[in-house]
Amino acid sequence: MEDVFDIFGSVTISHAASREQLSVLYDAAQIVASGADLQKTLDEILSLLSAQFKFDLCVIRFLEEESMTLVVKSQQGMSSVHFGQSERNLNMDTYIGQAFLSNVTAVVNDTDFLDKPASAEIILREGITCFAHTPIILEGEPVGVLSAFSRSVKGIFTNEFVALFENLAGQIALAWRNDEQLQGLLEVHEQEREMQIAKNIQSSLLPAELPEMEEISVAGLCVPAHQIGGDYFDYLPRDGSCFDLIIADVSGHNIGSALIMAETRTFIHARADSLRQPSDMLHSLNRFFFDNMDCSDLFVTMFYVQYCPDKRTLSYSSAGHNHPLLWREKEQKVDPLDAEGLIFGIKPDVAFEQNSTPLGKGDILLLYTDGIIEAEDSSGEFFGMERLGKLLQEAGNLTSQEIIERIMNQVRIFTGLRHFKDDITLVVMKVLK
């Protein structure tokens, strides 16, 4: 039979060790396996070590990377008042520093023979007769040090006892790793919870419902690539039967993009009464972005539409956004809508062109973000405006909502993916009368 004793695959010690030592190892492994929090686990391991072997002081220190010092995480026995500062700097002038930096246990069985003055002063002052420091090693790298001190016995750290001591340090390393993994999982869970809250807030900023009118039907959909995104669409009623439709795209798919989207919506709703024309709204938004927000790594595009059913006139302006598509039922053709204007925040003063066009019965307006036309198939080919225009051309008998659903289904078939790499937003307005 091999001279080995193995607990959870990490403890190895000679059979020559006493039953008492083996019992300590077993109990320590049970403490680690219990799943208690790290502090309780460390305290119980030191209590076990101190009680079984009558040490006057047992200490567990872990490396604090920010200060590069060994900081006490658990202690049994003499206080830090007796034993100097709790923190230990990392250098070879002390036995604890030597153990950590060399990754080798430092043992002094008789303090009458000390060769490190920095350690000797405090050791002799406190009447320590023998001590040991062993590194707490995880994946070959030290993360801390386990220390034990005796005032009454010399020579306690035999080879068998050092093996026990090092295996205890191995159990502590397991406890530390388990806690790190647990904290990582908890942090991820908290981040996911916060992202879900952000997603709910962002969803609440989109129109809860779109207008139901005899003359037109309107539908919209916003699908972020991740939990939150930078796409935005909105509907604003005006005097009489007129209303505004807005679609915008903030680059990125993160909290920053979502915050800028929220700022954009807030600005539009706050200024809607005083800014009555699409070009005026875009001009003020551009000034706001240039003056108040650092958009050096984020870009915002927008297409702003105003429609008055009684006049059958569509007015629109663009801030560097993708050209919407307009299906003209009478002419049986698809026209892109274009208006000159830069993306927001590049220059302080930008002239945003405002154009207008008449609409007739059966005409369909499609607003979209680039996530649609830039969706790629397995060979890297874009879905493109031509495919999108053809879908619009074939949508004469569909409702606005059905048009959106058909486009989404066709893009999914084209990409072969259920989820998209970029945010996707669609707004469809169909003239019924």
Same domain, 282 and 421: yes
Same domain, 224 and 299: yes
Same domain, 261 and 353: yes
Same domain, 212 and 172: no
Task: Give CA–CA dist 180/187, Å, rounded.
Answer: 10
Residue 107, SS3 per DSSP:
strand
Out of 183, 218, 250, pick the residue that ends a domain: 183
Torsion, Cα 122 125 126 130, to 10 degrees, reads: 70
14 lies in some domain: no
Same domain, 278 and 374: yes
44 lies in some domain: yes
Total of domains in the chain: 2
Strands of the sheet containing 106-108, edge to edge, are 88-89, 69-77, 57-64, 141-150, 130-138, 106-108
**Domain range for residue 278?**
206-431
The CATH number linked to 108 is 3.30.450.40
- Split the chain (433 residues) into runs of 10 and give each run's mean pLDDT: 36 51 78 84 90 89 88 82 58 90 93 88 88 92 93 88 90 87 76 70 75 86 80 88 91 77 90 93 93 72 94 95 96 95 91 96 95 91 94 91 95 86 91 89
pLDDT for 77: 85
pLDDT for 416: 87
Same domain, 174 and 311: no
10 lies in some domain: no
pLDDT for 67: 85
Same domain, 416 and 301: yes
Pairing assessment for the beta strands 243-250 and 231-237 based on DSSP bridges = antiparallel
pLDDT for 203: 73
11 lies in some domain: no
- Cross-strand partners of 319: 302
- Give pLDDT tens digits for 274-316: 998 999 999 999 999 888 776 556 788 999 999 998 899 999 9
Same domain, 163 and 223: no
| CA-wise closest residue to 303 among 327, 273, 276, 281 | 281
9 lies in some domain: no
Same domain, 374 and 409: yes
pTM: 0.61
pLDDT for 236: 92
Same domain, 365 and 415: yes
Q: Give the tokens for residue 265.
A: 């919506």
Q: Which long-range contacts (CB under 8 A, 24 or more apart) does 123-130 make?
A: 126/78, 126/82, 126/83, 126/151, 127/151, 128/56, 129/153, 129/154, 130/154, 130/155, 130/156, 130/157
Out of 148, 183, 218, pick the residue that ends a domain: 183
312 lies in some domain: yes
- Cross-strand partners of 243: 237, 307
The CATH number linked to 291 is 3.60.40.10
Same domain, 319 and 234: yes
Same domain, 248 and 337: yes
- Give pLDDT tens digits for 240-260: 789 999 999 988 767 777 888
Task: Give CA–CA dist 13/107, Å, rounded.
Answer: 18
Q: Note the helical H segments in 157-227.
A: 159-205
> Helices (H) and strands (E) in the chain — how many of each?
10, 16
